Amino acid sequence: MAAGQTVTVYGAYGHTGRFVVAHLRERGFVPVLAGRDAHKLRTLADRHPGLDVRPASVDDPAALDHALTGSAAVINCAGPFATTAAPLIEAALRATIPYVDVAAEIEANADTFAHFTDRARERGAVIVPAMAFYGGLGDLLATAAMGDWTKADEAHIAYGLNGWHPTEGTRLAGKVSVERRGGRRVRFTKGQLEYHTDDLPTLQWHFPDPVGPRPVIGEFTMADVVTIPSHLPIPEVRTYMTTEAADGVVAADSPTPTAVDAHGRSAQTFLVEVVVRSGDTERRAVAHGQDIYAVTAPLAVEAVHRILTGRTAVRTTGEAAVRTTGEAAGQAAGRATGLGVTSAGALFDAPDFLRALSPHITVELHP
């Protein structure tokens, strides 16, 4: 059983990190509060008496090793992940524990697959990037929608957000991504990432009720273009964002999220529709809920729980669930379950994982 096990949360005092800490406690885990700012960690610890506080900078390997000592897994919530992911993965490999992050940065996630797949596979490690609203949820929905299909021609992920008030971390990550791209935009086409300077189109997406038809920005590219193609042979992966959300996240005067309930969630609502197409046939999956930052916590924590209890189904191209590990393997800190860097849809039984997210996210599958 994973209950009672220690999980290090790096960036625990950040907006998403606080949700993750709270959800870990709800699930019976014991979080270790880690991050770069000792003062913010102590302030957070005042709200969670008894939790261990371990300050650590990403450029201090010894401090990172201490932050992970005795933990069964680590969840990295600290952006920009272009800076934090590699040092935390290195520390997780030294500690031989699973690593999960909530990165929405396309290039940072691509770097994780490119730089760590072979080393992690050699060590039998589990590394799951983008286990979050962007990247993880879309991947799970696309995998579930695929069903018994082994390939598809296109995958479309439309984000029906009623608005988007970005956190400071989101703004910083976005700035880093823009700098890395030299002002260019990115899309996934013909089986690869492509950088371009084309204007982004505005079109109409007919979301299911209660959202209905909404204008969206086409090729508003999110982390799904890394996670989905990492294990599903789909040459065209396109993402869309409602115009009100796209405008909000880039506006200089957008406020940060404001809590409206006892869980700390904002009033933001979302509906995500995924459409996969093979020839003339389409399959769909829909998810809806409240607050994209808050729902990242159950996604990341459920992933850790399943890794540590051996509830994984590893996929390879054209093969579904080719190896399922048992609980005994999972209790060995997930080491026996690992095939290196892997996405949510590849590592888990997607429909079962999505059902486990209730009541945080409501999911409908339309094969």
Mean pLDDT throughout 177-190? 94
Omega of the bond leading into 257 within 30 degrees of 0 (cis): no
- Mean pLDDT for the stretch of residues 205-232: 97
Is the pLDDT at 338 greater than 80? The verdict is no
How is 64-77 classified by DSSP, letter by letter?
Answer: HHHHHTT-SEEEE-
Q: What is the pLDDT of residues 17-33, one digit of tens each?
A: 999 999 999 999 999 99
State residue 337's pLDDT score: 41
Q: What are phi and psi of 358, to 5 degrees?
A: -65, 135
Q: Which amino acid is at 46?
A: D
Q: Which domains does the chain have, with CATH numbers?
A: 6-133+296-344 (3.40.50.720), 136-290 (3.30.360)
Q: Are strands 6-10 and 30-35 parallel, antiparallel or unpaired?
A: parallel
Q: Is the pTM of this model over 0.75?
A: yes
Give the pLDDT confidence of 223-234 residue by residue, as tens digits. 999 999 999 999
Q: How far is CA 319 from the centre of its chain?
A: 23
User: From the CB of residue 104, how many other CB atoms can be counted at a distance below 10 Å?
Assistant: 26
Question: Model confidence over 348-357: pLDDT tens digits?
Answer: 999 999 999 9
**Residue 318 confidence (pLDDT) above 70:** no
Is residue 313 over pLDDT 90? no
pLDDT tens-digit series, residues 89-114: 999 999 999 999 999 999 999 999 99
Q: How confident is the model at residue 2 (pLDDT cuts 50, 70, 90)?
A: low
The Cα–Cα gap between 318 and 55 comes to: 44
pLDDT over 50 (residue 168): yes
**Average confidence (pLDDT) over 307-317:** 74
pLDDT (0 to 100) of residue 367: 72
Whole-number pLDDT of residue 39 = 97
CB contact set of 305 (below 8 Å; sequence gap of 6+): 2, 27, 311
User: Is residue 255 exposed (0-12), middle (13-18) or buried (19+ Cβ within 10 Å)?
Assistant: exposed
Dist CA 306 CA 355 (whole Å)? 13
Average pLDDT over residues 37-51: 97
pLDDT of residue 3: 66
Which among 161, 103, 95 has a CA at the least distance from the CA of 123?
95
Distances (CA, A) of 261 to 13, 178, 357: 19, 34, 19
Token readout for 240 is 């869309």
Task: Confirm if 161 and 290 have CB atoms less than 8 A apart.
Answer: no
Residue 154 has pLDDT above 50, yes or no: yes
- Enter the tokens of residue 157: 């992920």
In this predicted structure, the answer to whether residue 140 has a pLDDT above a threshold of 80 is: yes
The length of the chain is 367
Q: Report the percentage of the chain scoring pLDDT > 90.
A: 90
pLDDT for the residue 309: 95
pLDDT reading at 321 higher than 60: no
Structure tokens that stand for 50 in this block: 């008894």
Please state, in angstroms and rounded to a whole number, the distance separating the CA atoms of residues 200 and 216: 10
User: Using alpha carbons only, how large is the chain's radius of gyration in Å?
Assistant: 19
Give the mean pLDDT of the chain: 92
Compute the average pLDDT of residues 321-325.
32
Question: What confidence score (pLDDT) does residue 119 get?
Answer: 94
Residue 179 clears pLDDT 70, i.e. is over it: yes
